[in-house]
Structure 1
Amino acid sequence: MGRTARWRRPEHRPFRMALFSGVAALALGATLATPLAGFAMAEAPPVESQTAPAGLGPKSFADLVERVKPAVVAIKTKAIEVGGGPEEGVPGMPPELSPDDPLYRFFRHFGPPQGRRQKHVTQAQGSGFVITSDGYVVTNNHVVEHATQVEVSFDDGRTLPAKIVGTDKRTDLALLKISDGNKLAHVDWASTSPRIGDWVIAVGNPFGLGGTVTAGIVSARGRDIGAGPYDDFLQIDAPVNRGNSGGPSFDERGQVIGVNTAIYSPSGGSIGIGFAIPAEVAKDVIAALKDKGQVARGWIGVQIQPVTQEIAESLGLKSTKGALVAQPQRGGPADAAGLKSGDVITAVDGQKIDNPRELARRIATLGPGKTADITYLRGGSEKTARLKLGKLPSEKEAATETEDDGVEQGSALAAYGIEVAPASELRGRGGGEGLIVVGIDPNGSAAQKGLQQGDVILEANGRSMKRPGDLSDAIDAVKKEGRKSVLLRVKSQGGTRFVALSVSPAS
């Protein structure tokens, strides 16, 4: 990704002086906003589908835009932030002033009373689109998150207050409700998925300008950008910028194929790499928000990770397809059904699973309370477990306590750039399982595989680790078997995972 480039949520928080777009992207939490346009349409029909033009594309998108634009809205939000207490300094005081400077005493005297945290209003802007004639509006969660007031403006200048019906942080979607007593123009979800190379038209509110249209193609599908556990983004090259968040991407028939939500950019502006939540994902989430105000997802209680080529070789697998169980949660559905660390889940209800993301989406879609048949590999044999899905918890955290005294170095492990010590000795009478990584060479093979100081090696090739010699023995056993890697089960603050460590470290 590089040092300067980064994933960005393209919502727009205008600069305090309401400057133009080149500067507006630089400031957050401003108190002034670029004016929004508004619209209200009486007895307006839904946007009708239109057969895509033949050939390389239409000469113009003007007819399509004229039909869909009345259903696309600009969204402005207000939120109250608290700050400015004594631990945060005095608002407005130049940071370079020292306590003995006369101006420092001036700011302290005339600034807000010390000991009181000051409240201030922040504003932000985004985009959205109406999906029903009675005024349900789709946008991004991050556009309205923490908002105390939401307004929706149409293209003809009319503005309406909006109520937040429900939000879903995991997919970054939100549903709003507006009403002016009339039927509103609205758009429909696409009935089929777009292909790579298909035309895409984005409409939204970049930099607070309102009613802006851009066009491009679908550049890729199934993108994982690390935004959440259900990443499955469309990549588009139709330019989207700050303020486009929550706006629609249309196909040539005027149907919504995606919800614009993120961009890849070194500067905050478009470089032709944007990401949209696919309609097939968004419409199910929005339907759940409309029905219950929240999304209930299925849960089996496992930490999972991809099967790399090295891990597959260590486990004796012929394929890297599937999801590797790093750790079943104690008492969870998978644990109750007998799944263990090292199992590779390959199918759910007979449908093949290629990777962890696919497993997560499949289980989530089934929903809590449903029964599922989980096919998995263990020791080279295929097995099946039937389990009842639980409800995905709202938040799960895992942490590992580490200490750095009582170091015992396994000298045989020096070639791998790693020092370990028994957790039972470092943690005193409280005990602890595994070997704690107490030292690591950043240029060593262990560090190159992602091991860090404080990680706990629980197992090596399925054998529990108690002493540094246990790890050395496991490495020696792998060498005698002619394998290239020893498979470690490692616990860190981010959870439990498997690491395939080469038994022939580079010198």
Structure 2
Amino acid sequence: MKPNTPLPRAALSLLILAVLAGLLWLVPGEQRRQVVELTVSDRASGATTLSGPVSYAPAVEKASPAVVNVYTSKTITRRSHPLLDDPLFRELFGNLAGPRQQTQTSLGSGVIVSPEGYVLTNHHVVEGADQIELLLADGRAREARVIGSDPDTDLAVLQVDIDQPPSIVLGDSSKLRVGDVVLAIGNPFGVGQTVTQGIVSATGRSRLGLSTYENFIQTDAAINPGNSGGALINAFGELVGINTAIFSKSGGSQGIGFAIPVQLARQVLEQIIEHGHALRGWLGVEIQDITPELAESFRLPESRGALIAGVLRQGPAHRAGMQPGDVVTEAGEQAIHDATDLLNHVAQQPPGTHLKLTGIRNGRPFAIDATVGERPEAGRK
């Protein structure tokens, strides 16, 4: 190369990168760590836009001590095969022909949510269990008791007696946006506490057939068997959901997981602690969605609202004057788009609440004031 010949562009770029790398390593160790690992645990800074490599270790360190492994056992009785009931077989083999008892074990996860040792988990994790044992992240193991369970939301509240139990900070799931980073903490396949990371894929998911009241957070953070009842946290280590279910053809995570929003979980938790069960508003009606065909038949301006298909005699709706064929388009100040909207909104109202319902009756607007009752049993709307 001639002495005055400029360096090739590629060589010049490599030289600049080498100089920058050298300057980075001249920075003191602690400052260098902060350059390559951006801490996200301090909300007071007000920063909402993050760039560069990010570590969620501070969020995990804040939340993970409150996430527990849940081990349950129950005794089940298996009936013998009908052929074993033959008198000759019984005479030859005696008790071998009778029903047998077996102990069935399962595993899941839970989250300690208060200094009193209350634990949120899924109803299906502890359903029918004779014994429940919790294993804390610090290695302590304790038996827990069921305070109450709510199959309609698939939530259960346990309590464990333990000195200074670690408890998680409850966040605000109503502020979650699609694209927010979330982390799932639980005990997948019983391998031990595990953290997976993803984003909020959707909010307000319903009609999944998982529970009666559905308003799920959807995430692509890996959720596997054993994660049920575990924590879904945000980037600040706050609980935003209780991991509940996955859609999978293989039995493992395929990027579609669902969590119960913490706002709903908190409401169920408080009601179970205070009353022993979840309290829900109830109107005493049968409802269905408005289809385009029904909208045309009922002379509706658009295909939205909840059609009152039936009214229970002497129920809250009947006493308020509601009739079959009414189409409810607003409840209180909330617009009603379908039957699920009305079901969930009424359920959230404390019994005794006065609720204004407006909509269309025989092609004309109507409005009634109903006093919400208490839902008497599962399955009734």
Pair in the same fold by TM > 0.5: yes
Name the CA shift for 1:166/1:58 in 2 (closer, same or farther; >3 Å). Answer: farther
Matched, 1:158 2:140: yes
Q: Deviation at 1:272?
A: 0.6
Name the CA shift for 1:90/1:106 in 2 (closer, same or farther; >3 Å). Answer: closer
Report the Cα distance in structure 1 between the residues aligned to 2:379 and 2:216, rounded to whole angstroms. Answer: 24
Q: Deviation at 1:230?
A: 1.5
Q: Which runs of 4+ in 1 moved over 6 A?
A: 105-108
Report the Cα distance in structure 2 between the residues aligned to 1:136 and 1:206, rounded to whole angstroms. Answer: 22
Give secondary structure in 1 for the equivalent of 2:164. coil
Matched, 1:144 2:139: no
Report the Cα distance in structure 2 between the residues aligned to 1:367 and 1:90, rounded to whole angstroms. Answer: 55
- Calculate percent identity across the aligned residue pairs: 40
Count of aligned residue pairs for this structure pair: 336
Q: Deviation at 1:322?
A: 1.2
Matched, 1:205 2:187: yes
Q: Which residue does 1:370 correspond to in 2?
A: 353
Asked if the contact 2:190/2:226 (under 8 Å) is kept, the reply is yes
Residue 59 of structure 1 aligns with an amino acid whose one-letter code is: V
Higher helix share: 2
Asked if the contact 1:50/1:252 (under 8 Å) is kept, the reply is no
State how 1:16-165 maps to structure 2 within 5 Å. Answer: 50-51=42-43, 54-56=49-51, 59-87=54-82, 109-110=92-93, 112-114=95-97, 116-165=98-147
Report the Cα distance in structure 1 between the residues aligned to 2:224 and 2:187, rounded to whole angstroms. Answer: 9
Q: Which residue does 2:166 correspond to in 1?
A: 185
Report the Cα distance in structure 2 between the residues aligned to 1:111 and 1:279, rounded to whole angstroms. Answer: 54
Asked if the contact 1:78/1:122 (under 8 Å) is kept, the reply is yes
2:250 is aligned, of 253, 259, 267, to 267
Report the Cα distance in structure 1 between the residues aligned to 2:194 and 2:48, rounded to whole angstroms. Answer: 23
Report the Cα distance in structure 2 between the residues aligned to 1:257 and 1:84, rounded to whole angstroms. Answer: 44
Asked if the contact 1:138/1:176 (under 8 Å) is kept, the reply is yes
Give secondary structure in 2 for the equivalent of 1:354. coil
State how 1:264-413 maps to structure 2 within 5 Å. Answer: 264-396=247-379
Asked if the contact 1:229/1:360 (under 8 Å) is kept, the reply is no
Give secondary structure in 1 for the equivalent of 2:367. strand
Give secondary structure in 2 for the equivalent of 1:265. coil
Q: Deviation at 1:113?
A: 4.1
Name the CA shift for 1:308/1:107 in 2 (closer, same or farther; >3 Å). Answer: same
Residue 186 of structure 1 aligns with an amino acid whose one-letter code is: S
5+ long unaligned stretches in structure 1: 1-47, 92-98, 100-104, 398-494, 496-507
Question: What are the superposed Cα offsets for residues 326-365 of structure 1, whole Å, 9 maximum, x if unpaired?
Answer: 1112221112222222110111224322221121111111
Q: Which residue does 1:239 correspond to in 2?
A: 222
Question: What are the superposed Cα offsets for residues 435-477 of structure 1, whole Å, 9 maximum, x if unpaired?
Answer: xxxxxxxxxxxxxxxxxxxxxxxxxxxxxxxxxxxxxxxxxxx
Name the CA shift for 1:107/1:75 in 2 (closer, same or farther; >3 Å). Answer: farther
Residue 176 of structure 1 aligns with an amino acid whose one-letter code is: L
Asked if the contact 2:152/2:378 (under 8 Å) is kept, the reply is no
5+ long unaligned stretches in structure 2: 1-39
Q: Deviation at 1:63?
A: 2.2
Name the CA shift for 1:307/1:58 in 2 (closer, same or farther; >3 Å). Answer: farther
Report the Cα distance in structure 1 between the residues aligned to 2:146 and 2:84, rounded to whole angstroms. Answer: 35
Asked if the contact 1:125/1:208 (under 8 Å) is kept, the reply is yes
Report the Cα distance in structure 1 between the residues aligned to 2:190 and 2:267, rounded to whole angstroms. Answer: 29
Give secondary structure in 2 for the equivalent of 1:366. coil
Give secondary structure in 1 for the equivalent of 2:252. coil
Question: What are the superposed Cα offsets for residues 252-298 of structure 1, whole Å, 9 maximum, x if unpaired?
Answer: 11111111001000111110100000111111111111222211111
Asked if the contact 1:165/1:290 (under 8 Å) is kept, the reply is yes
Report the Cα distance in structure 2 between the residues aligned to 1:111 and 1:66, rounded to whole angstroms. Answer: 58
Report the Cα distance in structure 2 between the residues aligned to 1:173 and 1:308, rounded to whole angstroms. Answer: 32
Residue 340 of structure 2 aligns with an amino acid whose one-letter code is: R
Give secondary structure in 1 for the equivalent of 2:169. coil
Report the Cα distance in structure 2 between the residues aligned to 1:66 and 1:53, rounded to whole angstroms. Answer: 21
Residue 121 of structure 1 aligns with an amino acid whose one-letter code is: T
Report the Cα distance in structure 1 between the residues aligned to 2:147 and 2:115, rounded to whole angstroms. Answer: 16
Report the Cα distance in structure 2 between the residues aligned to 1:253 and 1:267, rounded to whole angstroms. Answer: 32
Name the CA shift for 1:296/1:258 in 2 (closer, same or farther; >3 Å). Answer: same
Asked if the contact 1:132/1:187 (under 8 Å) is kept, the reply is yes
Report the Cα distance in structure 2 between the residues aligned to 1:152 and 1:283, rounded to whole angstroms. Answer: 21
Report the Cα distance in structure 2 between the residues aligned to 1:377 and 1:139, rounded to whole angstroms. Answer: 41
Q: Which residue does 1:228 correspond to in 2?
A: 211
Give secondary structure in 1 for the equivalent of 2:175. coil
